[in-house]
Amino acid sequence: MALQGVRVLELAGLAPGPFCGMVLADFGAQVVRVDRPGARGDLGLLARGKRSLAVDLKRPEGASLLRRLCSQVDVLLEPFRHGVLSKIGRSGENPYAPLNLLGDFGGGSLICTLGILMALYQRTRSGKGQVIDASMVEGTAYLSSFLWKSLQIGLWEQPRGQNMLDGGAPFYTTYRTADGGFMAVGAIEPKFYKLLIKGLGLKPDELPNQMSMSDWPEMKKRFADVFAKKTKEEWCRIFDGTDACVTPVLTFEEVTQHDHNKERGSFIRDKDQGVSPRPAPLLSDTPALPSSQRDPFVGEHTEEVLQEFGFSQVEINQLTSDKIIEINKVRANL
C-alpha cells in the first residue's frame, strides 16, 4: 500500500486524531496508539488496523519512553492544545448543528492527514521533518473557501435559509413525499431545471422566471404540494436516468443497497464491526486495504511494540513493575 513502512505514533484523543490515524492505517502505515493505563478496554470506534501501547505519560519515566519511541517513527499524531505536548515530563431559530463532519473529520482529520502526507513527501527532498499544526477551526474555514469567495457575488445577501444554496430556492432544497420520505433537488442550471419542471408535470409558461427570488417562497409551496402526492419510490421512477438533479434522501441501509454504491463496492461489511465506508480515494496501483481484524484492547500490544522499538525484557519488566506501562494480553475463551 501507499504508506507501507511509515511508522506512526498516535496519542489517544477524541475523534479528529483517531480518524486521521485510521486513514493512515488503511493506506498501509503502521499505527501504534498510545493509551492511558486504566482506560476502558477497547479503543472506541476508529481503531481499525492499529495496535495499542498503554503508557502513563504523566510520569517522567513514561515521558522518557515516549521520547525514545519518537526517535524511531515518521509521524507523531497528538491531539492536545498548543504547547501541551512540550510539557510532557515537565511542570431566531437556532442554527442547526452540522453534525461533527466539518470540525472533527473534515476540517480536523482530513486536513491533518493532508498535512502529514505533504510533510512526508517534502522529507523525501529535504531530509527534514516538520510540525503540522492542524486547527479544526482553520481547516473548516479552508473547506468553506467557496462560501467566503462567493460573498463577493451576492450569493449570501438574504437572511439564512433564503439564499439559493441554503434552502431558499425551490430548485435547491428537499421535499417530503407521500410516504414520509424525502427527495433532494439541486437543479440550478437551466437545462436541469427544465427537466425538473417536466418531471413534476408542470407547465413552464405558467411559472415565474426561475431566478425570480420574490417568487421563490410561493414556488417552494407549489413544488412541495406536487412532491407530496407521490411516494419516494414513485418519484425515483420518474427521475432516475434523467439529468434533473432530483435524487432520494436515503436511509443508512438504503445507502449500502444503492446500485451505484454496490457496483463500486463503496461499503465494506465486517461480521464484528458491521458496515463501514471503503477508504477513499481509490488508488489504481496501491489501494487501501483496511484491516478486517477486531479493534485492539488498551495495552494489548504494549510488550510487542516496546520489543520492536528495542526495549529489553528487563526494561519492560521494570516499567511494568513501576506501573509506567500496562500490559493487557488477550486470554483465550475455552
Catalytic residue positions, numbered:
104
Cell of 166: 441554503
DSSP output for 305-321: HHHHTT--HHHHHHHHH
- Could you tell me which residues come within 8 angstroms of residue 171 by beta carbon, excluding any fewer than 6 positions away? 185, 186, 187, 188, 193, 196, 210
Nearest residue to 246 (alpha-carbon basis) of 299, 312, 198: 198
Return phi, psi of residue 41, to 5°: -65, -30
**What is the rounded CA–CA span in Å between residue 258 and residue 263?**
9
Residue 331 grid cell:
486470554
Question: At residue 146, what is the residue type?
Answer: F
What sections of 49-172 are H helices per DSSP?
60-70, 111-126, 136-143, 145-150
Kindly list the distances between the CA atom of residue 161 and the CA atoms of 141, 196, 248, in Å, as whole numbers in the listed order. Answer: 20, 21, 21
Q: HSE (CB half, 13 Å, CA atoms) of 233?
A: 2
